[in-house]
Structure 1
Amino acid sequence: MNTIGDIPAHPFFVHFVVVLVPLIAILVILCAVWTAARERLVWLTLVLSVVLTVLTPLATDAGEWLEHQQQTRTPTLHEHTELGDTAIYFVLGLLVVSLALAFLHRWGARLGERRGLAGIVVAVLAVLIGVASIYQMVRIGDTGAHAVWGSGGS
């Protein structure tokens, strides 16, 4: 899906991704380090992660299509497109951490003494992947803004 009506679909899809990545990153970190948050938010976090995993390829595919519609492809636009292609890896990382959190929430008691170690590993991964995902989305968005509006922002 490259257009919605006559309008390029990329801006529509990308805004969902731009909002959901930091939201999910914060949710996975909260769920990983705070038991009360995990009890209340783990399933929402997992559902949002699945939705994000579906929307991200739609945004990047529509972005690739939009790039090929441009008469002049600037290096900044090419950089934005290349960075955009990396988004799925960060989104998949968030999905894996969300799945691990849901597993720990649902079946963590069966791990016995290993539950504490598993929780620590998942918490460290949640923080690393969460922060990295937010950082990468900022990089992707920054190059996209420069590609559209130039370095002066006008």
Structure 2
Amino acid sequence: MDWQFNGLPLHILFIHVVVVLVPLAALAATMTAVWPAARRRIGIVAPILALAALVMVPITVEAGEWLAQRVAATPLLGTHMDLARILLPWAIALFALTTIQWGWHRFVATPDARWSGLLRSAVTRTAITTVISVLVVLVSLAATVAVVAIGESGTRAVWLNSFS
């Protein structure tokens, strides 16, 4: 595929979408993990944001690989490309855990949930809720750190020593 629009590489546009969506999905997921009022208000929005981020990550990587074949190879570009490959597993984990968290609270965890009778023990429900919440927060943090590291390395690859 030709990853350009009007003569400009689409990777540059797509990275902005990823840089916004991944941390935004991570923030929404973290808020729903630790703040019940936010969970009720945000609801399905957190998994939808995580899904949008998940869709955009491989598209952005593909567009970046296309662009890398058209610019001079440098060690900084190599570092950026290596780091970029670690984001997809984090995006998958963020989407999966955000969806699990939403489904857990929507269908099981609360007393008035559709399948709340599956787990009668409040202790078990609390333990599962805690484990899911901790995993969501950790994956959200890791995904956001990955985006920052990838973005910083990409910025260095493009701009370091290239202007006066």
Scaled by the length of structure 1, what TM-score is found? Answer: 0.93
Q: Does structure 1 residue 112 correspond to structure 2 residue 120?
A: yes
Number of residues paired by the alignment? 153
Contact 2:26 2:50 in 1 (8 A): no
Q: Within 1, Cα distance between the matches of 2:90 and 2:162?
A: 29
CA offsets per residue over residues 17-67 of structure 1, 9 Å max, x none?
Answer: 001111111111110111111111121111111111111111000001101
Say if 1:65 and 1:117 are closer, same or farther in 2 by CA, change over 3 A: same
Q: Within 2, Cα distance between the matches of 1:59 and 1:115?
A: 38
Q: Does structure 1 residue 60 correspond to structure 2 residue 49?
A: no
In structure 2, the gaps of 5 or more residues are 110-115
Q: Does structure 1 residue 23 correspond to structure 2 residue 24?
A: yes
Say if 1:68 and 1:104 are closer, same or farther in 2 by CA, change over 3 A: same
Q: Within 1, Cα distance between the matches of 2:161 and 2:42?
A: 39
Counterpart code for 2:137: V
2:100 aligns with 100
Say if 1:31 and 1:139 are closer, same or farther in 2 by CA, change over 3 A: same
Q: CA deviation at 1:107?
A: 1.1
Contact 2:21 2:52 in 1 (8 A): no
Q: Within 2, Cα distance between the matches of 1:126 and 1:152?
A: 39
Counterpart code for 2:102: A
Task: Flag the structure with larger Rg.
Answer: 2
In structure 1, the gaps of 5 or more residues are none
Q: Within 2, Cα distance between the matches of 1:107 and 1:13?
A: 35
Counterpart code for 1:112: R
Scaled by the length of structure 2, what TM-score is found? Answer: 0.87
1:32 aligns with 33
Alignment of 1:47-86 (within 5 A): 47-70=48-71, 72-86=72-86
CA offsets per residue over residues 109-151 of structure 1, 9 Å max, x none?
Answer: 4233222111100111011111111111111011100000016
Q: Indicate the percent of aligned positions where both proteins have the same amino acid.
A: 35
Contact 1:39 1:105 in 2 (8 A): no
Q: Within 1, Cα distance between the matches of 2:30 and 2:41?
A: 14
Contact 1:42 1:101 in 2 (8 A): no
